[in-house]
Chain A
Amino acid sequence: MYFLIDYDRGAGKLVSMTAFEADQGVAARAKRLALELEYHGAGRVREVVILQAPSEAHIRKTHRRYFETLEELVKLAG
């Protein structure tokens, strides 16, 4: 699957996450470009990224920063 992440670095918040099936890579990449152009046109800095994994659980393990606050990361470590 493909997970299109729209993340606001300044606010430290996940704005949206859209899942695409494994055969929808082209659609995921087209949507990513559309978002990048939209933010560029509006002068907004956003992190728009596609993560590829069999499930959401996988990306929540390897890319925790999109989903957990600093306090949550630290708490889980304790």
Chain B
Amino acid sequence: MSKPFTRSQINKLGERLRSGASDDDLRMLSEYRNSHEVALEATIHEVEECTRLTPVGRPKSNQSIIEKLRRQSTRLSQMQDIAGCRLVVEGPMQQRQLLESLLSRFPGAEVHDRRAKPSNGCRAIHLVVQHVDGQHVEIQLRTELQDLWAQCSERLADLHGIEVKYGGGPPEISALLTRLSEFVAEIERLQMLASPNAVADRVREAELPARLRCGYAMVGESFPQLRYLLGMLPDLVVSSRQAR
């Protein structure tokens, strides 16, 4: 599908959407979003080919695009996540391997590593690849724990407003999400330390078994604390609603 509009037309549409939206604006936005379909299909195919994993494709909803325009000063033509896909893998080692595979396939990809520097608590790796037609596609790589955090955050945003996703909303919920995010990072840091390859990089072979046992024990000790924090979420939602 060819690009149906000029960059200037797209940016003017974005400006109109910031303050309101007519039916014609929504139709134009839909057509612009549809113009990313070829790039999305091609990216999904390439990801499947190089990783043997199946990503789930997700063109951004009109609602999400409009909310993002109203939240940020980004121009519509510069939004890089209108088309995207997501992969969820077991843990941080698999995530790292996946990143390496994808970078060998898409060497020019822009990498947004949100593991060490999370975006409002959200930890993941995002790659932005540019298709030959110029359209961008975002590839999201999450571990199961990173994904669990993100799904809980989305659910809480449903209940308490979209601002929860961006560090706002009831302070007690925001604080707990921050704490959970830090726990996810700590557990994954320990998982990386405990993984045979990572340990082998750092210690002599003779020390390996003891270091591995130690690393796994530390990971095991962290999980009950994560479960405890997660278990607080539903009660917190009820009390927060009663307080409003």
Chain A residues close to B by CB (< 8 Å)? 9-10, 12, 25, 29, 32-33, 36-37, 40-41, 45-54, 58-59, 61-65, 68-71, 73-74, 77-78
Contact = CB atoms under 8 A, between A and B. Distances in A.
Contact of B54 (A25, A49, A58): A58
Interface of B is mostly: helix
A77 B61 contact: no
Given A65-B151, A77-B227, 18 more contacts: A9-B157, A10-B158, A40-B23, A47-B63, A47-B64, A50-B58, A52-B58, A54-B54, A59-B56, A61-B56, A61-B88, A62-B56, A62-B147, A63-B86, A70-B156, A73-B148, A74-B230, A74-B231
A74 B56 contact: no
Contacts of A29: 30, 34, 37
Contacts, number: 98
A32 B61 CA distance: 9
B227 A37 contact: no
A9 B86 contact: no
A32 B40 CA distance: 17
Nearest to A41: B23
Contacts of B162: 9
Contacts of B158: 9-10, 12, 65
B61 A47 contact: yes
A73 B152 contact: yes
